[in-house]
Amino acid sequence: MSAVPASGWADWFSPTELVRFRRRHLVDRWIGRLVPIVFLVAIVPILDLIFWISQRALPTLTWTTLTTNPTGNAGGLYGPIVGTVDLLLLGLAIAVPLGIVSGLSSAIFLPFRWGEVVRGAGDLLVGLPSVILGYFGYFALVIYFGWGASLLAGGVTLGFFMFPYIARASDQAFSSVPPDLKDAALGAGARLRQYARRVAFPIALPQILSGIFLAAAIGIGETAPLLWTALFSSYPPTTLSQPTGYLTGLIWNYYDEPLTFGTEVTLAFQAAFLLIVIVVVMNVIVRLYAERSRKKLEGLYG
């Protein structure tokens, strides 16, 4: 870079150019100042919420809270914790294979137009209010199939709730595999399913796993699909056909109890605190994992 001529920028740029440049510079500066404000707007309510919940949950949260069942107006969270884990695992057992198969077909196996149909259907399901899915689960599973309000009905409904998130993540993961690699695999004599299994799947896996964790984090915070399908129970389920408790259900049931003893409301706050901790931990795991696998694939995308 050579030095600015003695007479200033005017020798190099026309007056209009200089005006425009200065205006852009000002806009840049103001946007730069807005960023921290926007950041505060986003972060303050979250921190406030966490503080508000912790304040009510932590003073009486002990190991016993986690290991005893709720007793109507007091007790712990044991039953709902086990129920939440059971419902989530059962839901994932349905949502993961369905979601991956859906993503594979829309991104790899179906012709583009049919893939779009599958993607559209998935987006529609994501947009479906979860309370409607809960109603559907109630009428189809609880009533029509006669499963009754149970761990099975709740888990399956939760599975259908999480499925479109995993399907969308899988579709995006498989679609983002560089198309050159498909040519390379098929050019080496691979069949489409061999390409999918040996090349696309290992590359897409980190993104799919992130999608599964995200779906689980959303699913674990759901109440509406479970209210009429899993109903509620204070005790950990021992069979698939029993009604099952879950943390969000406990919050739903206990939060607005009259403050006769105060303990029910505290229990609801403790359940909320636990949910927040679980979701935060899941998010951290996803981010660490995604970062690690991104490094492993460095160079693949040129």
Partner 1 sequence: MIDGSLPSDAASSGPPGLLEVEHLGVSAGSRKILDDVTLSLPDRTVSAVLGPSGCGKTTFIRCLNRMVELSPALKIVGSVRLLGRDLYDREVDPALVRRRIGMVFQRPTVFPQSIFENAAFGLRLVHADEDEVDRSVMDALKRAGLWDEVHDDLDRSALALSGGQQQRLCIARALAVKPRVLLLDEPTSSLDPHGTQRIEATVRHLKEEIAVVIVTHNVGQAARISDRVAFFHAGRVVEVGATPDILERPREALTEQFITGRFT
- Residue number, 190 or 218, with CB nearest to partner 1: 190
First to last CA, the chain: 31
Q: How far is the CB of 188 from partner 1 (least distance, A)?
A: 5
The verdict on 188 binding partner 1 (CB under 8 A) reads yes
CB 116 within 8 A of CB 109: no
CB 222 within 8 A of CB 94: no
Considering only 32, 129, 189, 258, the residue that binds partner 1 (CB under 8 A) is 189
Considering only 28, 48, 180, 291, the residue that binds partner 1 (CB under 8 A) is 180
Exposure letters 94-132 (e unless 16+ CB within 10 A, then b): bbbebbbebbbbbbbeeeeeebeebbeebeebeeeebee
- Residue number, 5 or 178, with CB nearest to partner 1: 178
All residues at 6 or more sequence positions from 135 whose CB lies less than 8 Å from its CB, including other chains? 228
Considering only 19, 26, 47, 184, the residue that binds partner 1 (CB under 8 A) is 184
Query: Smallest Cα–Cα separation from 122: which of 108, 105, 109?
Result: 105
Segment contacting partner 1 (CB under 8 A): 6-14, 68-76, 128-136, 294-302?
294-302
Considering only 127, 146, 187, 258, the residue that binds partner 1 (CB under 8 A) is 187
The verdict on 202 binding partner 1 (CB under 8 A) reads yes
The verdict on 111 binding partner 1 (CB under 8 A) reads yes
Q: How far is the CB of 153 from partner 1 (least distance, A)?
A: 42
The verdict on 298 binding partner 1 (CB under 8 A) reads yes
Phi, psi at residue 70, to the nearest 5°? -65, 145
